A and B are shown apart, each in its own frame.
Chain A
Amino acid sequence: MTEAQKCYAEDPFDYGPVDEILERFRGEKGTTIPILQAIQEVYGYLPRQALEYAAKKLKTPLSRIYGVATFYAQFHLQPRGENIIRVCQGTACHVRGGAKIMDALKDQLGIGVGETTEDRKFTLESVACIGACGLAPVIMINNDTFGRLTPEKIKEILKNYQD
């Protein structure tokens, strides 16, 4: 048993995936961001225990990892919903009514930007451009992009993710 494993032996948190991820990137350079991306992929966010554990195993100060995690918009230190809705607030969407789409979503879900619904179904976020500007205004739900939106269409789209 290694030093790091010993300390965490009593902890109910499942460190298995972190071990597996660290193993996968072993020996490569510049892996902090890909490791964090992989951890977030597994847990849906960056749990504190996972970061502490990874820091210890990587022999890096936690503050350095935390510094990277808080610098990038992609990383989240709090749990998020099952479905991530990203509303484009880029230039093309802005001039084509992106704000109204955002309002409609806030209204429908009853939450603000950066918040998660109580049932953990949806998290609402804004993004600076999805690159589908030709179809503005645009939103992304998980990895699917929806374009040429109107506030009316939002209801229909959400229905598909409700259950």
Chain B
Amino acid sequence: MEAQTYRVRVGLATCGIAAGASKTYDKLLPLLAEHGIVPERTGCMGMCFSEPLVEVISPAGETFLYGNVTEDKAEIIVEQHIVGGKPVEDLLVLSNVKETENSHFMAKQERILLSHMGVIDPESIESYLAYDGYKALAKAMQMSSEDVIKEVQKSGLRGRGGAGFPTGMKWNFAYQAKGDKKYVVCNADEGDPGAFMDRSVLEGNPHAVIEGMTIAAYAIGADEGYIYVRAEYPLAIKRLRKAIKEANEHGYLGNKILGTDFCFQLKIKEGAGAFVCGEETALLASIEGERGIPRPRPPFPATSGLWGKPTLLNNVETYANVPAIFRLGAEQYSKVGTERSKGTKVFALTGKIKKTGLAEVPMGITMREIIYDVGGGVQDDKEFKAVQIGGPSGGCLPAELLDLPVDYDSLTAAGAMMGSGGLVVMDETTCMVDVAKFFLTFTQSESCGKCTPCREGTKRMLEILERITEGNGQPGDIETLEELGEAIRDSALCGLGQTAPNPVLSTLRYFRHEYEEHINEGKCRAGVCTNLITYYIIPEKCTGCTLCARNCPVNAISGERKQPHVIDPSVCIKCGVCMEKCNFDAIILK
């Protein structure tokens, strides 16, 4: 069916709203009403770099995605495009009828999970249904439990929460487990800083997660489920609430699902701000209302989980893949990806990368393709130094490994891990010792304190890193870090402690020279560790414009007008303002 008029969509996820998309929407509403158009709300379109985003779709189905549409630009789009019929070239980010400078962002992506994101209205079940929503559930419910599980096994899907455990196998364990009461739980704690895929999926396509969980409940024989969402995601929680309510009303959740005897009650539990609650046993303790402290496994949740009952626990993205498996069929689904890592993975591209955003790529693509082809390369064309993958449990990979295929096994072999999908790009201005310290500070403060290696060991490692970055590193520190790191990795109780040394061990493996420079030469090449740097004005380059002196917050710079200036190192607080302000590149770090 061809639409008669233009359609207009506004991306209203947390990132869009933070950039001002709500104001743009409010501005568009009356302007478009004059032309009989109601702007549609949708979730994340994945291109954070040019939020707020507005998409105009012509009656013939041509799409024009406009970027940086702050409220003042809404009028231009309505006047010129909707009324005048002429696309607004200046704001155009992407189009299906024309090449733009951003076409590369989509070229290597393969959008299966995200195919409806930025298209459907996350607050309307009708909108989800119009794109084959809940058809996968209907299909699965015509199959036996065993066949549903076999289909998931055949798809080759592995858990997207970090460890990559085969999903079908986990479902089978939960199915086989004896018990009259079983639970299905979704891990939406997304604690890795630098990751926001799960948030975007929950905000942009909540029904996909609900549908995946309902299929899981049908398969393992559960009648109750929980979604554990972190409290820092208020919009995701709001949209999930609405989606659950609508799914209940439409008979896709609750009692007598699709007119059968199958019942599944789904509830939301809000997290309360503890990273360790992303670990499955801690998460279950937290749902039970206790302190979120992990316990040793086995028993695994599949046999003894929530209130001691068999519990299936998967990540948001894992569940969101399930409807696609049943829509496409396992065989078709498993054509994408590598031998041992099937399907696609959504990555959050952040840090010093040109195009920040969400990218869904086939497993096995190289890191270079993700960073350079999709992400457009390093911001300001600085030199690439490292990419951090897998959050606080992951590692930093150097330029030499850019051609590494991105799949579970290759990443683990390289000392990193797939993790949840955060990719933080770092350039020459990032100090790798500082990054290692940053992560360890995080894990150290999030350690629940139950086991000694993690509680005490990470603290000792952090002390060493602190003294190295302060310029007091000692010979032997590197070896001690390695020894401690390996001991903690092998002896901590849960995944948090076992993986906490990874950022240190991986930077030691690939950026050892930076540690050595800090300790032996008292030098921080990135100019981050303030105790190890001094700002210096090159007399030949200084024109005596006085700009630096006027901006120095502590009056550490002196000199006559039109004469070279000097910085007094005993007063300087190393804030870097002078270097930022200088128009002649006369200030350098020594």
Chain A residues with CB below 8 A from B302, complex form = none
Q: Does A90 lie within 8 Å of B18, measured CB to CB? A: no
**Least Cβ distance of A24 to chain B in Å?**
14
Knowing that A29-B289, A143-B234 touch, tell me 8 more A-B residue pairs with CB under 8 angstroms.
Answer: A32-B290, A33-B270, A33-B289, A67-B291, A71-B274, A71-B293, A94-B193, A145-B17
A33 partner, pick from B15, B272, B293, B439, beta carbons under 8 A: B272
Chain B residues with CB below 8 A from A145, complex form = 14-15, 17-18
Chain A residues with CB below 8 A from B388, complex form = 91
**8 CB-based A-B contacts, threshold 8 Å:** A33-B269, A74-B272, A91-B193, A91-B438, A91-B439, A94-B193, A94-B438, A133-B195
B356 partner, pick from A67, A88, A90, A135, beta carbons under 8 A: A135
Closest partner residue, chain B, to A93 (CB atom):
B193
Q: Does A147 lie within 8 Å of B18, measured CB to CB? A: yes
A 76-96 contacts with B by CB, 8 A: 88-96
Q: Does B426 lie within 8 Å of A95, measured CB to CB? A: yes
A134 partner, pick from B48, B271, B289, beta carbons under 8 A: B48
Alpha-carbon distance A111/B3, docked complex (angstroms)? 56
Closest partner residue, chain B, to A94 (CB atom):
B438
Alpha-carbon distance A129/B189, docked complex (angstroms)? 11
Q: Does A135 lie within 8 Å of B274, measured CB to CB? A: no
**Residue A13 lies at the interface, judged by CB distance under 8 Å to chain B:** no
Chain B interface residue count, Cβ-Cβ cutoff 8 angstroms: 56
Q: Does B19 lie within 8 Å of A90, measured CB to CB? A: no
Alpha-carbon distance A72/B290, docked complex (angstroms)? 10
Chain A residues with CB below 8 A from B19, complex form = 135, 147-148
Q: Does B290 lie within 8 Å of A91, measured CB to CB? A: no
Alpha-carbon distance A34/B267, docked complex (angstroms)? 12
- Number of residue pairs across A and B with beta carbons under 8 Å? 143
3 closest pairs, A vs B, by CB? A134-B48, A90-B193, A73-B273
**Least Cβ distance of B100 to chain A in Å?**
19
**Residue A53 lies at the interface, judged by CB distance under 8 Å to chain B:** no
Chain B residues with CB below 8 A from A138, complex form = 18
Binary flags per residue of A127-163, CB closer than 8 Å to B gives 1, else 0: 1111111111010100111111000000000000000
Chain B residues with CB below 8 A from A129, complex form = 191-196, 232
B 501-522 contacts with A by CB, 8 A: none
**Residue B351 lies at the interface, judged by CB distance under 8 Å to chain A:** yes
Alpha-carbon distance A145/B357, docked complex (angstroms)? 17
Q: Does A72 lie within 8 Å of B274, measured CB to CB? A: yes
**Residue B239 lies at the interface, judged by CB distance under 8 Å to chain A:** no
Alpha-carbon distance A88/B350, docked complex (angstroms)? 14
Q: Knowing A131-B232, A131-B233, A134-B350 are in contact, say whether A92-B194 is a contact too (CB < 8 A).
A: yes
Q: Does A134 lie within 8 Å of B288, measured CB to CB? A: no
Closest partner residue, chain A, to B503 (CB atom):
A91
**Residue A68 lies at the interface, judged by CB distance under 8 Å to chain B:** yes
Interface size class of A (residues with CB under 8 A): 35 or more
Alpha-carbon distance A91/B439, docked complex (angstroms)? 8
**Least Cβ distance of B270 to chain A in Å?**
6
A131 partner, pick from B14, B274, B356, beta carbons under 8 A: B14
Q: Does A134 lie within 8 Å of B15, measured CB to CB? A: yes
Alpha-carbon distance A107/B270, docked complex (angstroms)? 33
Alpha-carbon distance A143/B14, docked complex (angstroms)? 10
Q: Knowing A95-B351, A147-B15, A147-B18 are in contact, say whether A133-B196 is a contact too (CB < 8 A).
A: yes
Chain B residues with CB below 8 A from A16, complex form = none
**Residue B422 lies at the interface, judged by CB distance under 8 Å to chain A:** yes
Chain B residues with CB below 8 A from A75, complex form = 272
Counting chain B CB atoms within 10 Å of each CB, which of A34, A90, A92 scores highest? A92
**Residue A31 lies at the interface, judged by CB distance under 8 Å to chain B:** yes
Closest partner residue, chain A, to B307 (CB atom):
A29
Alpha-carbon distance A32/B51, docked complex (angstroms)? 39
**Residue A30 lies at the interface, judged by CB distance under 8 Å to chain B:** yes
Chain A residues with CB below 8 A from B442, complex form = 128
Alpha-carbon distance A140/B442, docked complex (angstroms)? 19
B291 partner, pick from A71, A143, A144, beta carbons under 8 A: A71
**Residue A117 lies at the interface, judged by CB distance under 8 Å to chain B:** no
Binary flags per residue of A37-71, CB closer than 8 Å to B gives 1, else 0: 10000000000000000000000000000011001
**Residue B424 lies at the interface, judged by CB distance under 8 Å to chain A:** yes
Q: Does A90 lie within 8 Å of B194, measured CB to CB? A: yes
Alpha-carbon distance A93/B18, docked complex (angstroms)? 15
Counting chain B CB atoms within 10 Å of each CB, which of A129, A138, A140, A145 scores highest? A129
Q: Does B196 lie within 8 Å of A132, measured CB to CB? A: yes
**Residue B49 lies at the interface, judged by CB distance under 8 Å to chain A:** yes
B193 partner, pick from A36, A128, A147, beta carbons under 8 A: A128
